[in-house]
Structure 1
Amino acid sequence: MMPRSLHFLRVGLSGLLAAALLATQACSTAGLPPLASLADLNGQAPGHRDLDIQAWHTAEGARVLFVEARQLPMFDLRLTFAAGSSQDGALPGLAMLTNAMLNEGVPGKDVTAIAEGFESLGAQFGNGSYRDMAVLSLRSLSEPAQREPALKLFGEVIGQPTFPADALARIKNQMLAGFEFQKKNPGKLGSQELFSRLYGTHPYAHPSEGTAQSIPTLTAAQLRAFHARAYAAGNAVIALVGDLSRSEAETIAAQVSQALPAGPALAKTPAPEKPAPGASHIEFSSNQTHLFLAQLGIERRHPDYAALYLGNQVLGGGGFGSRLMEEVREKRGLTYGIYSGFSPMQARGPFMINLQTRADYSEGALQLVQEMVGRFLAEGPTQKELEDAQRELAGSFPLSTASNADIVGQLGAMGFYDLPLDYLEVFLEQVQALTVEDVRTAMAKHLAVEDFVIVSVGPTVDQQPLPPPTDQPQSPPSGVPEH
């Protein structure tokens, strides 16, 4: 199966050190004693890690966000570029293939030498490409003896990829094998059809990994041109967290920025057109049917984000205890799991609900889900549901900054989506201040039952009436989920 992104991740000494100390890091960083047990919380939410986020721009135009964290002798560096598949243009898969090829060769080093170089320094390199963004990361010990050669090698990978022909052919073959596997994966088939219908001709419509038709046609020259344009310093956000002073962080950011091609930020992804709602079906021989419901949601900077996030936690994003899971799985035993969620991006990302159920219950399950969404949009959450969701978020929120890796990911997203530096604190305050009416109004403003694009993947069979709900927990459907 082809992974979501093709990458090498070499685990060295720093990874082992971080794993050993992670349990105490969150408390010590916040100036709190380590917890001996959860009882020490005495009903209170875990301490929140206060972040002193410093920001500036390099001379080449890269935006930098930095948090000094001295607890571990290491640092995390994350580069985020507007270089995802939304920038593919007429060449689907160009962004992902370019990203996957960056560590396959630099002048004087092949992929093995690059991997061994990072490993010998106790450093980790990572990369990935998605719809909005492409990411490159480095974790290294902060001592200059390890830090400087790790940064030098990292600079070569991000700025001087050679795109060797043998590696390009190998990765293309891996991707083509993945496309063959996808033909047997009803979930993947349904997801691709859903995005195609939801976004039409918009850049979000095609799969990030490209297609079996587009990948063989891509050339090393096209990858080089995309790298020069999309991996330019002016198109980059540099996030740094760790055992560094401000002056050291400035030096690193300047070094990384100078290693990248020169150039400006790329244009933002345009707004999508509202799609035509309705259902479509993909015939697939199986015992179960995959159901996908989606409509356009919001962009990441939308002021209603907090209200929609909390509303979705109650509806179907909070796992067990959410309305959809309680009714569809617990009371009726129709599915192993049902989930809903907003995926805000640079442009309006999707709001999606997905589940798989017995093929002869698929029409009834779909109708049930639509009725539940309609009722939620009309009434909103109960006061108890709201308070439970607020309390759960307050309790889990410290995990978002529990480690340096968590923080560098948050900084990368904040920089990429141009969120304010106090975003994390403001978001939690916004969530805790929401009322039932706030959530109901926001959900009803952005969603409508009649706007769903619906895709089903499974066999055409005679339908059965749904079993009635019961207060006794139901066993999930027999067999295992199909993927």
Structure 2
Amino acid sequence: MHRHPEPQVHRYARGHQRTLPAAQAPAASSARPSWVAGAVAGLLALATLFAAFQARAVEVQRVVSPGGIEAWLVEDHSNPIIAVELVFRGGASLDPEDKPGLAHMVSGLIDEGAGPLDSQTFQGTLDDLSIGLRFNAGLDNFNGSLTTLTENRERAFELLRLAITAPRFDREPVERIRSQILARLSREAEDPDVIASRTLRQLMFQDHPYARPTRGTEASVRSITTDDLRGFVQDRFARDQLFIGVVGDITTDELEALLDSTFLPLPLSAQPFSVPEADIGNAGDLVVIEKNIPQSVVSLGQGGIKRDDPDYYAAYVVNYILGGGGFASRLVEEVREKRGLAYSVYSYLSPLDHGALVAGGVATQNARVGESLDLIRQEWQRMASEGPTEAELEAAKRFLTGSFPLRFSSSGRIAGMLVGMQLEDLGIDYLDRRNDFIEAVTLEDARRVAKRVYRPDDLTVVVVGAPVGVEATREAPTDGS
């Protein structure tokens, strides 16, 4: 399931990790030096190896415990490791309007002491038993990840149970995590990449919950109380909004028992919630946020295509050709390779549950921002008018189907895919069928969908820096505007 660039890990505090969107980096050049050619050959060999692994080993089982808790399981007894991914539907978009950042703060605190264990004891137990436990709040969902050695599985699942059913929210960890979030917000206030992406979201989503800062503002983070934290857990963590994926050294019978002991203590139902559909705004606007830096950062986007749209796979392939395929993409070829305007230029699909985007970005010298934007708009228009060539389509399909097995490179990644399959209602046999969806995209499909999706006149653009010759069409929004 392709939603965002791959995450990178940022450590907030001992034993606690947070996933953040990683910067999009260019892939291999079309004019490849010899070492890149060798790397590509190695990649193809690895893809073949994982394809063989996929064919014989990735069998997804639907496990339902005696208490009715469902999980999707891939058994793998080759290593004594178990990985669990869980998701509660409903994320930061449900934060109170005056307290954005609540879900994010909860994600930083529920493993900082739970049940009878204070923060030091809880974290010390994780460290002593080499248990990985982390949580993350996205716009639509609240995610958790657990990794443990088989021999420590009962204790690991017990700690997970305590974190999601009985977090303590003691004063010391609450204030410590609050201080860390505030420090990070202070750093991000000067980060041009963060400023650009945050402003683009404000422009496009306007008064929709998606426009609010996921990590909150200084004022909202300071205002969050222990009662707010407890209320979030009580309202949101429930069995009817829970999805679980498990991979590793565990049998169905063993998993059934752990599912009941871990998740049956949760309430049956979450508090009812709804998020309105987003109405994408400010189409065609350009905002400049002046910052005295030698290189401007640009974020841009327009309304996109949802994950359950019948045209999604065609759009996915077309985006790979336009800007999602690294050095295989048109944007990199035109902006970087031919003209040397930027190190990184890219596009991606962002199909959120209540508002989809086609987005992208570039970073370039202040004097060349206008030229880079002109080229991006030209390629946006060329894709809409002409679509991909047959050769581009076939190359994209070969890569996207051939590289798919590489996603099976870790238990955690497979577990995450199992959860995504459930969230998107893709079917338990999706791993077997996914490449068929890519192969089924015809040239006619790709050109029709390119014309439907790409609208260069609708591109909303945010430039952070000191661009030369770039004129804004409106003022930058402030928080909440």
Partner of residue 243, structure 1: 249
Partner of residue 28, structure 1: none
| CA spacing shift, 1:416–1:6, aligned 2, 3 Å | farther
2:155 counterpart of 1:149: yes
Partner of residue 419, structure 2: 412
| CA spacing shift, 1:271–1:97, aligned 2, 3 Å | same
Give the one of 375, 384, 403 matched to 2:382.
375
Query: Equivalent residue of 1:135, what SS?
Result: strand
| C-alpha separation in 2, matches of 1:266 and 1:77 | 26
| CA spacing shift, 1:269–1:53, aligned 2, 3 Å | farther
Q: Structure 1: which 5+ residue stretches go unaligned?
A: 12-35, 464-483
Query: Equivalent residue of 1:103, what SS?
Result: coil
| C-alpha separation in 1, matches of 2:86 and 2:146 | 9
One-letter code of the match for 1:390?
Answer: K
2:111 counterpart of 1:103: yes
| CA spacing shift, 1:388–1:7, aligned 2, 3 Å | farther
| CA spacing shift, 1:387–1:82, aligned 2, 3 Å | same
TM-score by length of 1: 0.84
Give the one of 217, 227, 235 matched to 2:233.
227
Work out the percentage of aligned pairs sharing the same amino acid: 32
Pairwise CA distance, 1:195:
0.2
TM-score by length of 2: 0.85
| C-alpha separation in 1, matches of 2:144 and 2:136 | 7
Is this contact kept in 2: 1:297–1:344, CA < 8 A?
Answer: yes
Give the one of 20, 43, 52 matched to 1:47.
52
**1:103-137 Cα shifts (integer Å, max 9, x gaps):** 11123322221122122223221221221221112
Is this contact kept in 2: 1:92–1:211, CA < 8 A?
Answer: yes
Partner of residue 16, structure 1: none
2:354 counterpart of 1:347: yes
**1:216-269 Cα shifts (integer Å, max 9, x gaps):** 001010110111111112211111111222111211222221233442375453
* Number of residue-to-residue matches in the alignment: 436
Query: Equivalent residue of 1:190, what SS?
Result: helix
**Between 370-379 and 82-91, the greater mean CA deviation after superposition:** 82-91
| C-alpha separation in 1, matches of 2:187 and 2:137 | 20
Partner of residue 77, structure 1: 84
Correspondences of 1:21-60 after superposition (within 5 Å): 46-47=51-52, 49-50=54-55, 51-55=58-62
Partner of residue 305, structure 1: 312
Query: Equivalent residue of 1:49, what SS?
Result: helix
**Between 306-315 and 346-355, the greater mean CA deviation after superposition:** 346-355
Correspondences of 1:253-272 after superposition (within 5 Å): 253-264=259-270, 266-267=272-273, 269-272=275-278
One-letter code of the match for 1:47?
Answer: A
2:211 counterpart of 1:199: no
Pairwise CA distance, 1:87:
1.5
Pairwise CA distance, 1:438:
0.9
Partner of residue 94, structure 1: 102
| C-alpha separation in 2, matches of 1:426 and 1:370 | 35
Pairwise CA distance, 1:42:
11
2:324 counterpart of 1:317: yes
2:333 counterpart of 1:357: no
Is this contact kept in 2: 1:10–1:123, CA < 8 A?
Answer: no
| CA spacing shift, 1:4–1:303, aligned 2, 3 Å | farther
Give the one of 129, 136, 158 matched to 1:128.
136
| C-alpha separation in 2, matches of 1:39 and 1:89 | 48
| C-alpha separation in 2, matches of 1:191 and 1:37 | 35
2:280 counterpart of 1:280: no
Pairwise CA distance, 1:165:
1.4
RMSD over equivalenced CA pairs, Å: 2.6
Is this contact kept in 2: 1:125–1:137, CA < 8 A?
Answer: yes
Query: 4+ runs of 1 displaced by more than 3 Å?
Result: 2-11, 36-46, 56-63, 264-269, 460-463
Pairwise CA distance, 1:61:
6.6
Partner of residue 433, structure 1: 440
| C-alpha separation in 1, matches of 2:228 and 2:326 | 43
Partner of residue 399, structure 1: 406
One-letter code of the match for 1:260?
Answer: L
| C-alpha separation in 2, matches of 1:331 and 1:3 | 34
| C-alpha separation in 2, matches of 1:209 and 1:272 | 20
| CA spacing shift, 1:62–1:93, aligned 2, 3 Å | farther
| CA spacing shift, 1:92–1:38, aligned 2, 3 Å | closer
One-letter code of the match for 1:66?
Answer: L
**1:401-457 Cα shifts (integer Å, max 9, x gaps):** 232222101011112232221223322111112122211211222231111111111
